[in-house]
Amino acid sequence: MEVKEIENKIFSILIKEEKQSWSELFEKLNISPNKLRRSLDNLMKQGFIYNFYTKNEFNPDYCYYELSKFGKWIKEESKNMSKIEDVFYSIHCLEHLKNIIVCSARDWSLNNLDVWIYGIIVGWNKESLKELKNNMNWNEEAIERLEELHKRFNELLELEKKSDL
């Protein structure tokens, strides 16, 4: 089984059964541990699922996976489509990138690069920008540039949605 096929099967299992342990997925899919790990990592990096532990122990029996907010949104969208793969391929590149960032547990306000990336793709509100200006030692021109880049990103996002790229 190829990694993409495994990812689709994992996603389908999580849609039906809410959460699954690593051991349960391993048993259901009957694949090598490395392929399962790689597929789960890919789904987490793309923002579709996340994992958590039920005990403070790194044991496959206590490691569970479930859909992220983005994954749950896809679950809702998939109700109108014949196959889950149709949903994956209907998501536009820029929209997908934005959803990955929005659904990430990462704190995007800790360093200049993350703040800049988040500002372009998601955007900061005015109050956050004032705080970030002080924290990051930015001048007013940097704030204006970030707001302009975010505006352009949103324009490209809308263009992508309209053009059905």
Block mean pLDDT (10 aa), the chain, length 165: 84 88 92 90 83 77 85 75 59 80 87 94 95 93 95 87 61
* Type and span of the H or E element at 66: strand 63-67
CATH match of 3-72 with 1.10.10.10: yes
At 141 the pLDDT is 94
At 16 the pLDDT is 87
Q: CA-based diameter of the chain, in Å?
A: 57
Give me 8's structure tokens: 């689709």
At 165 the pLDDT is 43
At 119 the pLDDT is 96
Distance, CA of 47 to CA of 85 (rounded, Å): 16
Question: Which residue intervals of the chain bear CATH 1.10.10.10?
Answer: 3-72
* Type and span of the H or E element at 73: helix 69-78
At 81 the pLDDT is 61
Query: What residues does 65 pair with on adjacent strands?
Result: 20, 51
